[in-house]
Amino acid sequence: MNSSTTSRRSFLKTTIATTASGWTLSAAAQPAAANASSLEMATFRFDVTPPLGHSCCGGWIKPVEVVDDALEAVGVVLLGAGKPIVLCTVDWTGLLNEAHIEWRTALAEAAGTTPDRVAVHCVHQHNAPFACVEAERLVLAEGDLPHIVELDFFRKCLSAGRQAVRGALQRTSKVTHLATGQGRVEKVASNRRVARHPDGRIRASRSSSCKDAELRALPEGKIDPWMKTIAFFNGDRKLAALHYYATHPMSYYADGRATSDFAGLARKRRQADEPDCLHVYFTGCAGDVAAGKYNDGSKEMRPVLTKRVYDGIVRSEKELQPKPIGEVGWRTADLLPPPRNSLSAAAIQRSISNKQGSVVSRNRPSYALSWLRRLEKKTPIVLSALHIDGVRLLHLPAECFVEYQLRAQQVKPDLFTAVAAYGDGGPWYIPTKDEYPAGGYEVSVSYCDPSVDGLLTAAMKELL
């Protein structure tokens, strides 16, 4: 029996076991790794700024009245390791369900690859679109609710993405070296869920900004303080730098001013430093992490937070020491977690159709109903990981709690593991199992059963 037969049989056993449990590893359907001797990279960016009047954050905060700075989609295409691989971030609140699949499909078509080899993540600014196509259909059917996302604008962004990727493929560069680094980000991230009753239940949330002196005085709580950077080189020329940090990226919002906020502004500042290197920013597992301890929501704090994140990026890049690339691999897993048993499609529809309800009490449930309809169709979430020698880039969905990121880094501590969350946002928040009984806002808007913890953790381990 040869090694490939053994590997295939092992994969089939794993697939059967994991499918029954709610996720399926699909990595072995592709070569485990490819030699990087012919590796190339294309970089792209395109505008995704919504028009004036467009809804922000699903329609329950003030729509766009002014554009403070452009929203962008930024990414890279890696060629020469099997079918092309696309990594992309978007300055939007979220891409959920069908909307996320459409983005991956559009970029895949342009790159000449398949959607499972495309990872699209949102930075999660709130003065920005929160796109779910099915949710848009649901609110349109009511006739009296603001848009979730205007579909003409959404399709225009897909078209711009196709054009940007096709154009990028006309100017590729050889990739020979990879470098990693990390730098501590000071006084930005803090855990939202530190104020608790004696029994462990959440008493109050610190959120993105906080004016309560008592809450701000509480400890930072569980966070990941490190900005991680992975940079691609052609010889000694830096082509692209991918930055990863876990915090909600809002200083203040709901004022009708479209902005990439402090995370996006920090990336743009670093981009201005190095115009010939594309800088890409990924938000990590920040479902329970925000700037509330260090941010009172005043306008003066946005540039302060911007500089702190920028300084973290610069610190992380000081460690970069390019090394030749040996092997590159791509692994995927399909995740289909069960919904919470408290979710009732009929009850949710009644909330959406309640003409006496507020916009938020009607628009927000449309996302939950979209998730239930997706599960009925058994359309899984695609998780993925890029392997480059001893480096792992892990791509996770929705608003995962930071514990998932910390777990991922401990799967193989000798690896350099960077985690991007806010991929497919269909499940909304993904708490850890032991946080469900504690309640709080984040748990109240989680659409998955607590068993998602075990499913997601098992899939992460296999991907890494």
DSSP letter string, 217-270:
HS---S---EEEEEEEEETTEEEEEEEEE-S---SS--SSEE--HHHHHHHHHH
Cα(214)–Cα(263) distance, rounded to whole angstroms?
26
Q: In the predicted model, is pLDDT for residue 4 greater than 60? A: no
Q: How many CA atoms lie within 13 A of 395 on its CB side?
A: 27
Residues 6+ apart with CB under 8 A from 62: 56, 254, 255, 256
Q: Residue 14: its pLDDT value, please? A: 41
Residue 339 DSSP class: B
Query: Which tens digits make up the pLDDT trace of 176-224?
Result: 999 999 999 999 999 999 999 999 999 999 999 999 999 999 999 999 9
DSSP H or E stretch at residue 290? strand 289-290
**Per-residue pLDDT reduced to its tens digit, 303-315:** 999 999 999 999 9
Give the pLDDT score at 260: 98
| Of 8-12, 18-22, 106-110, the least confident | 8-12
Token readout for 416 is 């350099």
Q: At 11, is the pLDDT very low, low, confident or very high (cuts 50, 70, 90)?
A: very low
Helix or strand run (H / E) with residue 77: strand 72-79
pLDDT confidence of residue 37: 74
pLDDT of residue 34: 66
Which amino acid, one-letter code, is at 59? G
User: Phi and psi (nearest 5°) for 396?
Assistant: -115, 160
- How many CA atoms lie less than 13 Å away from 294 in the CB half-sphere? 24
Q: Tell me: pLDDT of 445 over 50.
A: yes
Beta pairing partners, 202: 196
Give the list of residues 6+ apart from residue 51 with CB closer than 8 angstroms, or none: 64, 150, 153
Neighbours of 390 (CB within 10 A): 14
Which residue reads 């909600």 in tokens? 248
Q: 232-274, pLDDT tens digit by residue?
A: 999 999 999 999 999 999 999 999 999 999 999 999 999 999 9
Is the pLDDT confidence value at 167 over 50? yes
CA-based radius of gyration for the chain: 21
DSSP β-ladder status, 391-395 and 416-420:
parallel
Question: For residue 8, is pLDDT > 50?
Answer: no
pLDDT band at 22 (very low <50, low <70, confident <90, very high): confident
Query: CA–CA separation, 170 vs 175, rounded Å?
Result: 15
pLDDT band at 373 (very low <50, low <70, confident <90, very high): very high
The per-residue pLDDT for 25 is 67
- What is the DSSP secondary structure assignment for residue 420, as one 8-state letter? E
Question: Which residue bears the tokens 């002014």?
Answer: 66
Across the chain, mean pLDDT equals 93
Task: Kindly report the number of other CB atoms within 10 A of residue 355's CB atom.
Answer: 9
pLDDT band at 21 (very low <50, low <70, confident <90, very high): low
User: Residue 35 pLDDT more than 80?
Assistant: no
Total Cβ atoms within 10 A of residue 165: 27
pLDDT band at residue 319, thresholds of 50, 70 and 90? confident
Taking the domains of the chain in order of start, what are their residue ranges?
21-463
- Separation CA 328–CA 85 (nearest Å): 11
Q: Are 370 and 413 in contact (CB under 8 A)?
A: no
What's residue 385's pLDDT? 98
C-alpha 301/C-alpha 51 separation (Å) is 27
Output the pLDDT for position 429. 98
Q: Which carries the bigger pLDDT value, residue 28 or residue 116?
A: 116
At 29, the pLDDT band (50, 70, 90 cuts) reads very low
What pTM was computed for the model? 0.94
pLDDT > 80? residue 336: yes
Q: What is the pLDDT of residue 81?
A: 94
In this predicted model, what pLDDT tens digit does every residue of 83-127 receive, in sequence order?
999 999 999 999 999 999 999 999 999 999 999 999 999 999 999
Query: Of 220, 232, 119, nearest to 175 (Cα)?
Result: 232
Give mean pLDDT, residues 359-382.
97
Give the residue-averaged pLDDT of 351-367: 96
With H, G, I as helix, E, B as strand and everything else as coil, classify residue 306: helix
Is the pLDDT at 144 greater than 80? The verdict is yes
State yes or no: pLDDT of 3 exceeds 70. no
Residue scoring higher pLDDT (275 or 10): 275
Q: Percentage of the chain surpassing pLDDT 90?
A: 92
| pLDDT tens digits along 391-421 | 999 999 999 999 999 999 999 999 999 999 9
In this prediction, residue 64 carries a pLDDT of 98
pLDDT of residue 5: 37
Residue holding tokens 């350099």?
Answer: 416
